[in-house]
C-alpha cells in the first residue's frame, strides 16, 4: 500500500513536470512563401533582358 | 535507252515536286508560329492562363483539362527556346526564363492575368504591373 502511494505521488509529480515543460507550437497566420528564385542575381537578369525581349518578339505564337 | 531517259526525267520532276512541297512547308511553319493560336489568345484574355514570375504560363483558377494541355504544350515550347537562348548567353535555363518572365509580365495588356512577386494573381490594368525588384 505504501508503495502504491509512492508510485501515485511520483506519477503526479511527473505529470506536473510534463505539463510545465510543454512547448506549444502555433501554426503561422501568414502563408509560407518559398522563394525559389532566390539564386537569380539582378545583374544576370539585366544582362539577359534584351535577348529575352527579342526571344519573345521572335516567338509570338508561344508568348 | 529511251525508257531509261524518261524515267530520269520523271524522277527529277518528282524530286522537284518534293522540294517544292518541302519549301512550302518551311514557309508555312514559321507563319503559323507568327501569331497566337485562337484558343491560347482566348485563354489569355479570359484569364484562364496568366504569366508567372518564372517565365511560364500558370493558372489563376483551376484549369479545364483542355486549358491545362494548351498551357503545358506552350510551356514545353517555351522551355526549349529558353534552353537554347540560355546556352547561347551562358546562363541557366531558370535565369533566362526568369528574365523572359519579367518581359512577358511587362507586355501583358489590361485584362490579362499575371503573377505578382508574392505569388498572388493580379489582373493587369493600365498601371505598370507589380514585378520582382530584380526586373529591369
Q: Please give the ipTM for the structure prediction.
A: 0.73
Taking only the tens place, the pLDDT of each residue in B55-70 is 999 999 999 999 999 9
| Helix, strand, or coil (residue A26) | coil
Q: How far apart are the C-alpha atoms of B76 and A27, rounded to whole Å?
A: 37
Taking only the tens place, the pLDDT of each residue in B77-124 is 999 999 999 999 999 999 999 999 999 999 999 999 999 999 999 999
Contact status, residue B121 vs residue B114, Cβ threshold 8 Å: yes
pTM above 0.90, yes or no: no
Q: Which of B74, B81, B136 sits opposite A45 (nearest CB)?
A: B136
Contact status, residue B47 vs residue B60, Cβ threshold 8 Å: yes
Q: Which of B34, B100, B132 sits opposite A55 (nearest CB)?
A: B100
* Range list of H helices, B33-106: 38-45, 65-88, 93-106
Amino acid at each position: 500500500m505504501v508503495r502504491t502511494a509512492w508510485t501515485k505521488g511520483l506519477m503526479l509529480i511527473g505529470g506536473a513536470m510534463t505539463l510545465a515543460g510543454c512547448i506549444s507550437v502555433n501554426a503561422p497566420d501568414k502563408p509560407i512563401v518559398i522563394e525559389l528564385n532566390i539564386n537569380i542575381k539582378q545583374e544576370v537578369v539585366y544582362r539577359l533582358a534584351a535577348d529575352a525581349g527579342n526571344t519573345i518578339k521572335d516567338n509570338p505564337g508561344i508568348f | 535507252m529511251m525508257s531509261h531517259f524518261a524515267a530520269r526525267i520523271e524522277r527529277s520532276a518528282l524530286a522537284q515536286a518534293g522540294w517544292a512541297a518541302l519549301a512550302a512547308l518551311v514557309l508555312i511553319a514559321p507563319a503559323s508560329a507568327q501569331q497566337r493560336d485562337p484558343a491560347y489568345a482566348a485563354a489569355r484574355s479570359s484569364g484562364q492562363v496568366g504569366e508567372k514570375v518564372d517565365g511560364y504560363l500558370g493558372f489563376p483558377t483551376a484549369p479545364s483539362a483542355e486549358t491545362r494541355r494548351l498551357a503545358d504544350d506552350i510551356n514545353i515550347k517555351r522551355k526549349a527556346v529558353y534552353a537554347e537562348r540560355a546556352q547561347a548567353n551562358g546562363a541557366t535555363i531558370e535565369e533566362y526564363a526568369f528574365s523572359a518572365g519579367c518581359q512577358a509580365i511587362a507586355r501583358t495588356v489590361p485584362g490579362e492575368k499575371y503573377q505578382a512577386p508574392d505569388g498572388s494573381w493580379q489582373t493587369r490594368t493600365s498601371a505598370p504591373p507589380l514585378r520582382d525588384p530584380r526586373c529591369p
